[in-house]
Structure 1
């Protein structure tokens, strides 16, 4: 009995502490941060709030509520979560090519695809468009102006791909403001609309940056041709029905990156969410640098990644 009482007391103290922490955040920059019951449960199990070297940084992971929204599910009070099929029905019909399963030794690479270079081939969008780099540190590295953010990095990636004859649609919709917690539900609407307009698109990129709290509290860099560039990560949501195909494509990109620029190839991070990646088997959730990298390093990384992606697209044709 005494053990149960101590456990109950411990949980109560933890919840109160978490509540005080969040209220403290609300008095600072992160006014739209909300702690749900699901979040508290996750914190009890693993400690959900990450602290970087320059302050508390939001997780770039959907909450349980966001997980429902990103699958196209209704999440109003009293409603139950529809099945994955209900979410998939909201995805517009596209000509997105399928990827061959690499478990088959006869097909170790993605299937070749037909690409019309006279039309957009790549879509770049941002679930968290306000994510920023050094020195744009206002709002706890979440700023509305474009300069110094992932949108600027997206501009560089777009320009470099277009130099190589690859047409790009770069959508700069700010999906994470005014509510960060509904970022993925809004970005799902954004990408569904874009895929409905551009049927020829083969590659979809949701461009983010990482949080330094997940990277040892420091910026991650590599040296490419004598220049310091930000490293990148590719996140794969294992909650997607096409998770295996997403991993195939992520591995293909990483192998090409390492082949072209030894030491530049990024990590593949697997998480138990969808991140809206079921909209395309060629969806990359790309994290360029983190909030301890400066914008120059991140822009330089975008140039390298553009060369890598252009080479991958050429190989797939």
Structure 2
């Protein structure tokens, strides 16, 4: 609408200019060069169109960037609509008992080779940051204070338990946030081709406080304040049921090891590239109102959970 108003105003101004210009020319004595009223009118109309076009050229707002990203996820996943998320608290998730139990299934046996990387960690939105790194609406390029730092903590904690990790820090959401998932899909496909023995794949994010109540979420583990985590499952994936089984298994283990630590399982009608593995976790550690210390602490304990799950379900 703004562009149309500019166009209308531009045309009106230039039509008036046309009349004045032509009348002035008719009074002039220069017989070598004359423009007709029609010629000047065409020139003015062309200028008005340019004015209207410039009014439409602008950068996307953060809200529009988020909308574009959502549409990109829908396009990549083939999701028909953005249905509301379904949240399943850890305490209400189905119990995991036995692989053969049709009521309470657990993951199939994970084939592992300790001489090769067992876990791949990457970040679709690698610039997501925590307090106090709040520049750019909590999206910063330096690694300190971001999900990449949290990934470093998770990596080191797993390696202390003898689990080899590949931590890829490729930035997929800068300089353009649009199609971050398209770019991260290329990364994870290349990583899985290079490390086919990887047992668990983690796309590590943080949540946004606006989506989780406007405050940092924390719990106490071993007397330490740690950020809460979420596990997001894309119901648009053909392996969605297996993803839910794995997410429930991880969450139950978290509650078993550290009561109160287990997070939420959030189901959404997208894919988020989770079809690449039945053991893919879209892990959100904390949100932008959590500080980096709380988030790093969460990653430290989450490593214990992943290590326990791998050991219990390996052959």
Q: Normalising by the residue count of structure 2, what TM-score does the alignment of the two structures yield?
A: 0.72
Task: Note closer, same or farther for the CA distance 1:219–1:180 as it changes in structure 2 (3 Å cut).
Answer: same
Q: Which residue in the other structure is 1:137 paired with?
A: 134
Cα distance in 1 for residues equivalent to 2:66 and 2:292: 29
Q: Where do 4+ consecutive residues of structure 1 move more than 6 Å?
A: 100-103
Indicate if the aligned counterparts of 2:122 and 2:202 stay in contact, CA closer than 8 A. Answer: yes
Secondary structure of residue in 2 paired with 1:311 = helix
The answer on 1:125 being equivalent to 2:117 is no
Indicate if the aligned counterparts of 1:237 and 1:277 stay in contact, CA closer than 8 A. Answer: yes
Q: Which residue in the other structure is 1:312 paired with?
A: 309
In the TM superposition, residue 31 of structure 1 has moved relative to its aligned partner by 9.6
Cα distance in 1 for residues equivalent to 2:163 and 2:136: 35
Indicate if the aligned counterparts of 2:172 and 2:180 stay in contact, CA closer than 8 A. Answer: yes
Q: Which residue in the other structure is 2:8 paired with?
A: none
In the TM superposition, residue 32 of structure 1 has moved relative to its aligned partner by 8.1
Larger Rg: 2
Cα distance in 1 for residues equivalent to 2:202 and 2:66: 27
Cα distance in 2 for residues equivalent to 1:202 and 1:170: 14
The answer on 1:104 being equivalent to 2:102 is yes
Cα distance in 1 for residues equivalent to 2:111 and 2:190: 22
Secondary structure of residue in 1 paired with 2:109 = coil
Indicate if the aligned counterparts of 2:77 and 2:236 stay in contact, CA closer than 8 A. Answer: no
In the TM superposition, residue 243 of structure 1 has moved relative to its aligned partner by 0.3
Cα distance in 2 for residues equivalent to 1:25 and 1:222: 37
Q: Which residue in the other structure is 1:231 paired with?
A: 228
Cα distance in 2 for residues equivalent to 1:177 and 1:101: 42
Secondary structure of residue in 1 paired with 2:251 = helix
Secondary structure of residue in 2 paired with 1:288 = strand
> Which structure has the highest helix share of the two?
2
Task: Note closer, same or farther for the CA distance 1:150–1:108 as it changes in structure 2 (3 Å cut).
Answer: same
In the TM superposition, residue 210 of structure 1 has moved relative to its aligned partner by 0.2
Say how many residue pairs are matched.
240
Cα distance in 2 for residues equivalent to 1:221 and 1:31: 27
Secondary structure of residue in 1 paired with 2:179 = helix
Cα distance in 1 for residues equivalent to 2:192 and 2:163: 17
The answer on 1:151 being equivalent to 2:183 is no
Indicate if the aligned counterparts of 1:32 and 1:179 stay in contact, CA closer than 8 A. Answer: no
Cα distance in 1 for residues equivalent to 2:152 and 2:272: 22
Q: Which residue in the other structure is 1:43 paired with?
A: none
Task: Note closer, same or farther for the CA distance 1:263–1:114 as it changes in structure 2 (3 Å cut).
Answer: same
Cα distance in 2 for residues equivalent to 1:124 and 1:275: 15
Secondary structure of residue in 2 paired with 1:63 = helix
Alignment of 1:1-317 (within 5 A): 26=61, 30=62, 33=65, 62-69=69-76, 104-105=102-103, 108-317=105-314
Cα distance in 1 for residues equivalent to 2:229 and 2:59: 31
In the TM superposition, residue 69 of structure 1 has moved relative to its aligned partner by 3.2
Q: Normalising by the residue count of structure 1, what TM-score does the alignment of the two structures yield?
A: 0.72
Task: Note closer, same or farther for the CA distance 1:184–1:264 as it changes in structure 2 (3 Å cut).
Answer: same
**Stretches of structure 2 lacking an aligned partner (at least 5 in a row):** 1-57, 81-97
In the TM superposition, residue 179 of structure 1 has moved relative to its aligned partner by 1.2
Cα distance in 2 for residues equivalent to 1:126 and 1:163: 22
Cα distance in 2 for residues equivalent to 1:31 and 1:216: 18
Indicate if the aligned counterparts of 1:209 and 1:291 stay in contact, CA closer than 8 A. Answer: yes
Cα distance in 2 for residues equivalent to 1:262 and 1:187: 34
RMSD, matched Cα:
2.3
